[in-house]
Homo-oligomer: A and B are copies of this chain.
Amino acid sequence: MTFSEENYLKSIYALQKEHPKGVSTNVLSKYLDTKPASATEMIKKLDEKGLVHYQPYQGVILKDSGAVSALKIIRKHRLWETFLANKLDFSWDEIHDVAEQLEHIKSDKLIRELDKFLGYPKHDPHGDPIPDEEGNVVKMEKKRVSQLNPGDIGTCIGVNDTSSSFLQFLDQQNIRLGSVIHILSVQEFDKSMTVRIDDRELLLSQIATEHIYVRV
């Protein structure tokens, strides 16, 4: 499987949650920063290989074999992210881009040994679960901060946006995995929230509250 095929599979997997009845070439190409025509081509090829189900004009969904392939790449991506953050001095906003390259290295032994070396981690540095060798993922019960109400308390377990700018913002605000977030109040007009973290009060925009996941 080529790098490009792997990236398409991984992207379809990610987009399927939001588009369960079919990921359109438009959405897919936007996500991958290519053009719809390129997505159509690639989807056709993946369909011929039996990895996806494609109906012209109806979008694409992964077949089981395609989902397993996608999860293997996601497993590699998250193990490498864990390596970069835990063993090397990478911060959580720096790891994604490098893992985007490392995830395509082909060696079953490498990924087994890496997993062992890292102590069989269950989650990557952004709080996302690491699939096992067969592609099984334990999906956590999680809510967005935006779904909480004043008085609620949540523990940060992940983020929904791995852009450098957002992760650096969280660093500045001392928000990390495990941070306990108390919801104090919600502004009616813009849905921004006042919260307390480590005895510090701060205001989070709606965008921010939608990108932070908590366990309640």
Binding site for B on A (CB under 8 A): 84, 87-90, 94, 97-98, 101-102, 105-107, 109-110, 113-114, 116-117
Across-interface contacts of A113 in B (CB, < 8 A):
84, 88-90
| Closest Cβ–Cβ distance, residue A149 to chain B (whole Å) | 42
CB distance from A30 to the nearest CB of B (A): 25
| CB neighbours of A107 from chain B (8 A) | 97-98, 101
Please give the count of copies of this chain that the complex contains.
2
- Say how far A87's CB is from chain B's closest CB, in angstroms: 6
* Majority DSSP secondary structure for residues of A touching B: helix
**A97 contacts across to B, CB distance below 8 A:** 107
**Contact B117–A88 (Cβ < 8 Å):** yes
- Which B residues lie within 8 Å of A117 (CB)? 87-88
Measured in the bound complex, the distance between the Cα atoms of B113 and A111 in whole Å is 20
Closest CB of chain B to A108's CB: distance in Å?
11
A27 to chain B, nearest CB (A): 28
Question: How far is B110's CA from A102's CA once the two chains are assembled, in angstroms?
Answer: 11
Contact A98 B94 (CB under 8 A): no
The answer to whether B101 touches A114, judged by C-beta atoms less than 8 angstroms apart, is no
- Having A84-B113, A98-B109, one finds 15 other A-B pairs with CB under 8 Å, namely A84-B110, A88-B113, A88-B114, A88-B117, A89-B113, A89-B116, A90-B109, A94-B109, A98-B107, A98-B110, A101-B105, A101-B106, A101-B107, A102-B102, A102-B105
